[in-house]
Structure 1
Amino acid sequence: MQATINLSLSNDVRIALDDLTRKEGVAAEDVINEAVRQYLFFRRLTLLRERLSLQAQKMGINSEDDVFRLIS
């Protein structure tokens, strides 16, 4: 399922997007879709790392040495 949204881009981003789509022969829609997909992935990854880091600290794991000690 697809949804349509209106998006405002700064002039410099729009120019860079136009240049990229022209040089690579891809649609702006595809570039934006992939950029949002990657942003969402890395945002979820960052949030997961933050949660796991807090859990690790509660368990006394504060460094790679602590992890190595626990798994050895």
Structure 2
Amino acid sequence: MTETITIRLPEKLQQELETVVKREKTSKSEIIRDAVSRYLAVKRFKQLRKQVLPFAEAEGLLTDEDVFKAIS
């Protein structure tokens, strides 16, 4: 199921979108779907990170290097 959504973009953003559409031979809808999907993925990641951070800190996993050492 799909839903039509109307959005308002500042002129400069709209021009940039048009440029990308022409260059990549795609549609505005496809670019916007991709952007929304990526935005939501980042939000989910940040929420999950926030949930597991206390457990990681309790194990002394404070940096990416700490995590890498723990799993290597």
Secondary structure of the structure 1 residue equivalent to 2:26: coil
**What do you get for the CA RMSD once the two structures are aligned?**
2.1
Q: Residue 50 of structure 1 aligns with which residue?
A: 50
Q: CA deviation at 1:60?
A: 4.4
Q: CA deviation at 1:22?
A: 1.1
Q: CA deviation at 1:62?
A: 4.4
Determine if the alignment matches structure 1 residue 30 to structure 2 residue 20: no
* Bigger Rg over Cα: 1
Runs (4+) off by over 2 Å: 54-57, 59-63
Determine if the alignment matches structure 1 residue 19 to structure 2 residue 41: no
CA distance in 2, matches of 1:11, 1:33: 20
Count of aligned pairs between the two proteins: 68
Which amino acid in the other structure matches residue 14 of structure 1? Q
CA distance in 2, matches of 1:60, 1:22: 50
CA distance in 2, matches of 1:4, 1:55: 41
Q: Residue 9 of structure 1 aligns with which residue?
A: 9
Structure 1 regions of 5+ residues with no counterpart? none
Secondary structure of the structure 1 residue equivalent to 2:48: helix
Q: TM-score, normalised by structure 2?
A: 0.78
Q: TM-score, normalised by structure 1?
A: 0.78
